Structure 1
């Protein structure tokens, strides 16, 4: 991993991405990159025992643990090859005027207004454009505290050979770890108001890992002295409503962000991004009904996600008195009133 590119969490691509990558014409370039196979998962969820799930019988084959920086650069390159013109600048959205989308582009100390036929909001959870036209609905207060472990101890085998993800539930949330091309990522998921402040330091994060039953074993062979300070990021489910309107459309996390437990975040971004592009094309071709169809498409995804989320969290019954799990007994995508 290049030291100039910080590690970004969000590295799992499930087997279901394979046909979508084919349809987008991305498959040859994707398989040529040094991403790691993900051959299944282990989970301590609902009991202390570790249960395995293999992709061996999945009709789409195995999934992947991505070199995320390389994957993102690959997608940008594909967009440019298709005709996109990249500009590195700050976008300041403006209200629609006469139904015409407008944005301000701030770069190099200069601000210029840009006009276009359509605006696509792919700004992630910030929803820079969509939040001015719709209302965001926040599912809970989930945050991820994570670190990438890269250095192996002297005398240990040079490579970590475990290619399955591991998820472990604990009283105040859950942990996961996965092997990625740069090393091993370890993350703790909990609610922002329940997170232990000690998790902000490398030592505190290592101590917390040491109290897990299974995740800690995946760090055998890694040098604890080289443990980095953990980073924090939002991880809650988030939905924009509406996610499209005349002249604008949201895709990916800007439209619908999901709990990392689903391992569907990147797949959802690819899927909704492709559908948003087709929707804009149809609207430009004189099919305004395409917008309503796109919103219905998102409604169906959100409904399936909500059912799966409730079912999965409902399988963990060991700590009914703990706030984290009690909150998830009823956790719909409810309106978030703080404006953030």
Structure 2
């Protein structure tokens, strides 16, 4: 093995969280090496973005170029069922000052653009470069061993940011990950081409979420002529019913408005399956390391929060590491603040989904049973990504329900990372 190299920060994983963390750190003038196990571009699920993601892209200087990439505009979400009845949430209901439109994207294209941005910011990118193990000395992570171009290599760093997604390098190394048993789900999905949105009975570009007695179905137009379809069910349902392709075809056919939208399309990718995908870690930061996005937690994709949470935690992790390198005496405080930030976002998102699942995937019933003081604006805001707001009545209600507790007790972090001034104003107006 060659002598090891040294950088300020190693980032494991080149998805949205890792790429955002790397670009943030590099922009602070620090040396950063990003290691990604797969050649890019590569297929990935999670194609529907939240409106708050548009705000993050704007802050990164990427909104205008991304808006010109041909991505499908998304202005709302439709919730429908087997009877064909539906309820639409419009992102215009957020009120003034926020982005009311975001995108549906093909992740291979979107993720690759974010990775290129990290490289342009000054990060070193190596892929394929799978990380085999963490290097730990005296209880602190001080680097990683990885493979690249047929060689095993070693790099030392003051910090390792784990954005490795489900691989969870840090979580698995230290035994930190636990499953969320209430959300032990299976997703079966594929893409279809030949899409003609003239057949869509709803609003052009909307994500559709259809519920039935055994689960739910998503429909996301990722290009003008391509749509992503996924069927999600409890693991026991998956085990009881036939072959994956048979289950997929039968479940998607249960939702008339999605079936109508698919008229004239044909499959363009193979069937893919994800199982047991909901998990969390109660420790998000430790000596020499921080987790970002899916490396620490993964929540059911029904409300499309994954990319937003990955990017915003990646950016916050990058800022935390840069500050800790500049002010080592503040490291413990900075990491504790980051952990609260991370958990607050994921906790809010977990609660939103747990409530939905308690209503057997029926969003319309879920919405109708919410207390009267929760306005349509609060629902639109939370579905848009308003996870760190103390002034959002729906978020406060969800946090008051102990049956939806997920993490071990922690201190909430309040202060929106996308619209801080608006969140503060609303907090004052609400008297909280």
**TM-score of the aligned structures, taking structure 2 as reference length:** 0.66
- Structure 2 gaps of 5+ residues are 1-39, 363-401, 409-432
CA distance in 1, matches of 2:407, 2:104: 31
1:217 partnered with 2:257: no
Tell which deviates more after alignment, 138-147 or 264-273. Answer: 138-147
After superposition, the CA RMSD in angstroms is 2.9
1:16 partnered with 2:52: yes
1:298 partnered with 2:342: yes
Counterparts of 1:255-334 in structure 2, within 5 Å, are 255-285=296-326, 286=328, 287-288=330-331, 289-316=333-360, 333=406
Counterparts of 1:1-340 in structure 2, within 5 Å, are 7-44=43-80, 49-58=85-94, 59-88=98-127, 89-98=129-138, 99-133=140-174, 135-139=176-180, 140-151=183-194, 162-181=204-223, 183-195=226-238, 198-201=242-245, 205-223=248-266, 226=267, 228-234=269-275, 236-285=277-326, 286=328, 287-288=330-331, 289-316=333-360, 333=406
CA distance in 2, matches of 1:333, 1:60: 30
* Kept after mapping to 1: 8 A contact 2:74/2:102: yes
* Cα displacement (A) at 1:134: 5.1
CA distance in 1, matches of 2:312, 2:116: 18
Count residues in correspondence.
316
* Cα displacement (A) at 1:316: 3.8
Q: Could you say if the C-alpha distance between residues 280 and 312 of structure 1 is closer, same or farther in structure 2, counting changes exceeding 3 Å?
A: same
* Cα displacement (A) at 1:90: 1.3
* Kept after mapping to 1: 8 A contact 2:351/2:405: no
Tell which deviates more after alignment, 274-283 or 293-302. Answer: 293-302
Deviations 1:53-111 (A, max 9, x none): 22233431112101211111111011101111111211012341133522111123321
- Structure 1 gaps of 5+ residues are 319-328, 336-340
Higher helix content, 1 or 2 = 2
* Kept after mapping to 1: 8 A contact 2:212/2:254: no
Deviations 1:110-143 (A, max 9, x none): 2122111110101002211332235112223112
* Kept after mapping to 1: 8 A contact 2:80/2:209: yes
**TM-score of the aligned structures, taking structure 1 as reference length:** 0.83
